[in-house]
Amino acid sequence: MGVAAIIVAAGRGTRMGGGLPKQWRPLAGRPVLAHAVASLQGAGVARIVLVLHPDDMGRADIPQGVQVVGLTGGDERQHSVRSGLAALAADPPAHVLIHDGARPFPGAAMIGRLLAALDRHPGAAPALAVTDALWRGEGGLVAGVQDRASLYRAQTPQAFHYDAIAAAHAAHPGGAADDVQVARAAGLDVAIVEGDEDNLKLTWPADFDRAERIAKGRDMDIRMGNGFDVHAFTTGDHLWLCGVKLPHGRALLGHSDADVAMHALTDAIYGALAEGDIGVHFPPSDPQWKGAASHIFLRHAMDRVRARGYALANCDVTILCERPRIGPHQGAMRAALAAIMGVEADRISVKATTTEKLGFTGREEGIAAQATALLVRA
């Protein structure tokens, strides 16, 4: 029971260029078809049957997590759909979405509207009202105006009660443009549900350009992390904060240079990557990191950012202490961090606050620092 989807992707059309059927052409780094699968999975459709041309069954880039069946019985669209319906027959779902693999972005909200409509109708299909004026033309001249009041642009997936559409396909003589036509031929009502402008069908090269822009927006991947660190004061005459050496009546106690602010920032970056913290990458128990300068940690974290395909959008460090005064050194600190991290200084904020003489920082037993880092897909 439940919902299943059939994605028909056996077409051979290469009008978009590139020598590949359009559903296999790369779009934002993966095949168009992979976007369609991911969109349906993202809408909560876990059971997906992919109907492929026999020539494509051995491809290495077939999306994962789907049931793949080869097209049989002919190479028209209806043969693909029948192949998909047959693959579901042994354990039939209550509802089935039949989708065209050349539409990479069937949105979750639209899928929800389709499935809701199946409570009241045996079929439901997404469509957009025609808003442009429609003309009839002859020889390059306007020959008349077409009333657009009852016209719609049809999309997929088209949604049906499985038993009803399976019976309709079995009874249909063939030659239907889509599954709505098959359903209507069997006397089934098909509700019109609001479609989605982003749910475009890739046909021409310009469609592909638009799909790239949509994919970019959808794939926007932002990761945020925070870090916090504390080091206690010990005897000494200077301390390190954000890579800058400050003369001071005490030093900070710790492995390495005890640069508490740089540690907090480094942990924020590891946190954004969900890659643990400094202690995971540079275990204090390992003698090779004893006394290591903190910029080694920060540089490593930024290397991980780039290796994972991200860039630092910005970071913000707050140092909590009564003394030393941070203000006069903010510029030098931002410049030092920028050089270590390989980013512009305007992406780095360093600021400080006292804790009004409250707590361990107020009693000047140590310094605390916290940091936030934001990463974006590069």
Q: Is 263 in the site for Mg ion (CB under 5 A)?
A: yes
Kindly tell me which of 208 and 240 has the beta carbon lying closer to Mg ion: 240
Give the residue closest to Mg ion by C-beta. 263
Decide whether 83 or 372 has the Cβ nearer to Mg ion: 372
Nearer Cβ to Mg ion (34/241): 241
Instruction: For residue 295, state whether it binds Mg ion (rule: CB under 5 A).
Output: no
Count of other CB atoms within 10 angstroms of residue 91: 10
What's the min distance (Å) between Cβ of 259 and Mg ion?
A: 8
Site membership for Mg ion, residue 99 (CB under 5 A): no
Nearest-approach distance from CB 260 to Mg ion, in angstroms: 6
Closest listed residue to residue 193, CA positions, set 101, 131, 102, 107: 107
Distances (CA, A) of 251 to 167, 192, 245, 319, 322: 81, 72, 11, 15, 14
Binding piece for Mg ion, criterion CB under 5 A, among 71-79, 207-215, 262-270, 322-330: 262-270
Closer to Mg ion by Cβ: residue 240 or 310: 240
Task: Compute the distance between CA of residue 121 and CA of residue 183 in angstroms, rounded to an integer.
Answer: 12
Stretch that binds Mg ion, among 38-46, 181-189, 260-268, 269-277 (CB under 5 A): 260-268
Judged by CB, which is closer to Mg ion: 63, or 243?
243
* Count of positions on this chain that bind Mg ion (CB under 5 A): 2
Query: How many alpha carbons lie under 13 Å from residue 178 in its C-beta half-sphere?
Result: 19
DSSP string over 115-138:
HHHTTT-SEEEEEEE--S-EEEEE
Task: Confirm or reject binding of residue 257 to Mg ion (CB under 5 A).
Answer: no
CB 263, min distance to Mg ion, A: 4
Compute the 3-state secondary structure of the chain and give helix, strand, coil in percent, each to the nearest 5. Answer: 35, 30, 35
Q: Which is nearer to Mg ion, 105 or 282 (CB)?
A: 282
CB of 15 to Mg ion, least distance (A): 59
**Window 213-252: contact mask with Mg ion (x via CB under 5 A):** ----------------x-----------------------
Contacts of residue 164, defined as CB under 8 A and 6 or more positions apart, other chains included, come to: 122, 123, 183, 186, 188
Pick from 157, 213, 119: nearest CA to 8: 157
Which 3 state secondary structure label does DSSP give 223?
A: strand
Q: How far is the CB of 253 from Mg ion (least distance, A)?
A: 10
Q: Which is nearer to Mg ion, 253 or 338 (CB)?
A: 253
What is the nearest approach in angstroms of Mg ion to the Cβ of residue 219? 35
- Smallest separation (angstroms) from Mg ion to the CB of 231: 6
| Residue 99 or 263 having the CB closest to Mg ion | 263
Residue in this structure with the two tokens 């299943």, named with its chain if needed: 4
**Closest approach of Cβ 373 to Mg ion, in Å?**
16
Dihedral angle at the C-alpha atoms of 67, 68, 73, 74, nearest 10 degrees? 130
CA–CA distance, 100 with 298 (Å, rounded to integer): 47
- Structure tokens given for 108: 């979750």
Interface stretch with Mg ion, choices 82-90, 172-180, 258-266, 281-289 (CB under 5 A):
258-266
Task: Specify the 3-state DSSP secondary structure of 170.
Answer: helix
Task: List residues near Mg ion by CB under 5 A.
Answer: 229, 263
